[in-house]
Amino acid sequence: MPLRRLYRLQRARLTAAPLVLRPALGWRGRLWRCLLWFTLLGAVAGVSIWWGCREGEARALGRLSSSEADMADAHRRLLASREREARLRQQLQVAEAARGSLAQALDTAQRDAAQAREALAFFDSLLTSNDRTELVRFVACEFDPTADATRWRYRVLLVQGVDRTEEIKGDLLLSIQIRPSGTGRKKIDLPKQAISVRHYRRIEGEVTLPDGAQPLGMDARMQGDSSMLAQCQKKTGGV
């Protein structure tokens, strides 16, 4: 049988081997053997730790390089963003300056248009005045508020009669009718103005009203040496 044959060969091999006797180790030998094993294990552990540290350091350096590259890319993007912001801010400043110039030009154009309308209304009043046989008369009498609620602007236009060529002299008397903060009425007389009219004369100015006073109207008169030459009245909110 193959198993029996294998068994006999194994027994023959064991009986042919010489018998070796090993002396038993004492406690010192066992101690040195333990120290040797601990030394080998410590060396293996140290090599493993050193290798792990090297690998960790290499990985950390790789991550650090990647982080530095990311930071450099982010810094480039930040610089590009700042450049775009500076360009946009410069464009905004240019646009604001252009808008300011346009607003100023528009304001100037509006003032010119207002002056043109005022001049047109003035000449229209001269052309459409039917009764100019009097010595002098008021053809315009305005009393309007300004941006300041306490200040009002007055404008009057005097025109000579058609057949009058000599200069007419006299005094302009202006009075403002107001209702104070309480009840009742009160008249404010403005200082007398010496004027002369040759063909036409336009006079304007501003008057400051007391706080809380409500203007009711304006009365304008041109006084000659001995008589009243012309008179007009303007009520606030209508003629």
Instruction: Name the region of 180 (left: φ>0; alpha: ψ -120 to 50; beta: rest).
Output: beta
Q: Is the pLDDT of residue 119 over 70?
A: no
Considering the chain, what is the average pLDDT of its residues? 80
Question: Nearest CA to 159 among 117, 126, 193?
Answer: 126
- Looking at residue 238, its pLDDT comes to 41
Contact 193, 172 (CB under 8 A): yes
| Parallel/antiparallel/unpaired status of strands 214-223 and 168-179 | antiparallel
Q: What is the mean pLDDT of residues 198-208?
A: 87
Predicted TM-score (pTM) of the model is 0.48
- Looking at residue 239, its pLDDT comes to 39
Distance CA(93)–CA(2), nearest Å, equals: 106
Distance CA(239)–CA(220), nearest Å, equals: 13
Q: Is the pLDDT of residue 219 over 90?
A: yes
Own/partner pairs, 87-95, CB within 8 angstroms, 24+ separation? none
186 contacts: CB under 8 Å, gap ≥ 6: 177, 178, 179, 180, 213
Distance CA(122)–CA(158), nearest Å, equals: 11
Query: Helix or strand or coil: residue 182?
Result: coil
Span 144-174, pLDDT tens digits: 888 888 889 998 888 887 666 678 889 999 9
- Bigger pLDDT: 45 or 6? 45
Q: What is the mean pLDDT of residues 122-150?
A: 74
- Looking at residue 116, its pLDDT comes to 75
Q: What is the mean pLDDT of residues 38-64?
A: 81
Other C-beta atoms lying within 10 Å of the C-beta of residue 38: 10
Is the four-CA dihedral 26, 31, 32, 37 of positive or negative sign? positive
Q: Give the rounded percent of residues in the chain with a pLDDT score beyond 70.
A: 80
- Looking at residue 131, its pLDDT comes to 55
Distance CA(161)–CA(170), nearest Å, equals: 15
